[in-house]
Amino acid sequence: MKSNIDYLLSIESKGIKLGLERTKSLLRACNNPQLHLPVIQVAGTNGKGSTAAMIANIVKVSGLKSGLFTSPHLVNLNERIRINGKSISNNSINQFIDKYKNDIKSIDSSFFEVITAIAFWYFNSKKVDIAIMETGLGGRLDSVTCCNPILSVITSISMDHMEILGDSINKIAKEKAGIIKKNVPCVMEHNDCDEIFEERAKSLNSKIFYVNSSTYNNFSPSLKGKCHYQNAQLAQLAIETINDTRIHPKHIRSGIESVIWYGRNQILSRNPFVVFDVAHNEAGVTSFLDYFNSIKHNGKKTLIISLQKRKNIIRCIENIKASFDHIVCTETNNIRTMGINDLSEMFNSECEVYTNADNAIKNTLKNINNIDSLGIIGTHHLGGSVKSNFNISFNSI
């Protein structure tokens, strides 16, 4: 008999369904838990997960109960829903599915719609003080947008998911701007699409607060890389904007400097130096390369890369080749993985190929020395292979 977890994973094959009506219908069946939660909604192209994790950790170290909803997961879907860093239990997921399975079927809800509803339901039932909800895709039509947030946060905007969100940065920005709600403040960085966000905010009587980098630059984030200074600035401004008197400046510093967030320039080993990053678009890969190249490397530099279909990093290829001595292309066991033939063609087949990510990592580790360096990048779905080869867990943060 199929378990509730298996059932939930099985409906993932239905793919992405844009629109809010199915989510609203499922939430109504659950007595609209999202309406009883103080939510900070985070959207953007890159950095939204890291920014959300920093905000959640600030709330946690202040002594409050923080809920954190992110996507996708690295190994277990439970990782998407956390309270004070601890993943939701299978028992809680089972409880939800047992109670609302008939509604899920009759509404024909997608995987993401169900997991979002579980997050709202779980956070409400556990009475979290603040729920930090990462938008899955875009914003305007994303399931998370069914909430009534106390604050909207928008991270960096760049080209990704063009087949769904649009083929220009302006079209993508309009989708992200969809999370801005009436009379709800928004925090973000200045970008090339400021006018789009300003127009949306003005029409809804919402105020945008922009990061001032000359003011917000006095922390040392535990997450590595220049991009995480920008994420830390957003997290700080977000907390200052909600003006919760229970959260003090010392909590902001402590939360940013102690946050754990896996798969973001995550150092897995020092000798040899091994770093794992889920960078999967041009902006993300460029950010990873900036970090990797900022470190002194004495030995051979190897990259293992796997991508999902439709991901395009063509403009990064020459920089990747310039940064590494050897490139290994591989596939994950996810149905949307890019085949190694297509991936290796990006590098003009000047790479080693493995059809299995476990073997790619295992064999590469056998063939490098302690002074060498290894980067593992491209998709969250490498998480299982990283876990098995380095004997680590992603369950608690």
- Residue 214: other Cβ atoms inside 10 A: 6
Q: Please classify residue 326 by burial: count the beta carbons closer than 10 Å to its beta carbon, then call 0-12 exposed, 13-18 middle and 19+ buried.
A: middle
Rounded to whole angstroms, what are the CA distances from 198 to 155, 174, 178, 208? 15, 11, 12, 7
Number of CB atoms found within 10 A of residue 234's CB: 27
In this prediction, residue 18 carries a pLDDT of 77
Report the first-to-last Cα separation within the chain, whole angstroms: 33
Q: How many CB atoms lie within 10 A of CB 311?
A: 20
Q: Is 66 strand, coil or helix?
A: strand
Contact indicator for 65, 84 with CB cutoff of 8 Å: yes
CA dist 69 and 49 (Å) reads: 9
Instruction: Find all residues with CB under 8 Å of 371, minimum gap 6, and list them.
Output: 271, 272, 298, 299
Note the pLDDT of residue 138. Answer: 83
- Whether 80 contacts 131, CB under 8 Å: no
Identify which of 164, 219, 216, 166 has the alpha carbon closest to the alpha carbon of residue 196.
166
Separation of alpha carbons 211 and 72, rounded Å: 27
Please give the torsion angle defined by the CA atoms of residues 139, 141, 143 and 145, in that order, rounded to the nearest 10 degrees: 50
Report which residue type is found at 388: S
Contact 85, 262 (CB under 8 A): no
For every residue of 182-224, DSSP letters joined together read TT--EEE---TTHHHHHHHHHHTT--EEE--TTTS-----SS-
Residue 139 to residue 111: CA distance in whole angstroms = 17
pLDDT number for residue 164: 61
Q: Are 269 and 392 in contact (CB under 8 A)?
A: no
* 214, two tokens: 């000359």
Pairwise CA distance, residues 367 & 351, whole Å: 15
| C-alpha distances in Å from residue 213, one per residue of 44, 286, 311 | 19, 21, 31
Of 303, 257, 306, nearest in space to 278 by CA:
306
In a structure prediction context, what are the per-residue pLDDT tens digits for the chain, which is 397 residues long? 468 888 998 888 776 777 899 999 999 999 999 999 999 999 998 899 999 999 999 999 999 999 999 999 999 999 999 999 999 999 999 999 999 999 999 999 999 999 999 999 999 999 999 999 999 988 899 999 999 999 999 998 876 655 667 678 899 899 999 999 999 999 999 988 999 999 999 999 999 999 986 665 578 899 999 889 999 999 999 999 999 999 999 999 999 999 999 999 999 999 999 999 999 999 899 999 999 999 999 999 999 999 999 888 999 999 999 999 999 999 999 888 999 999 999 999 889 999 999 999 999 999 999 999 999 999 999 999 999 999 999 988 9
Residue 267, both tokens: 């150092």
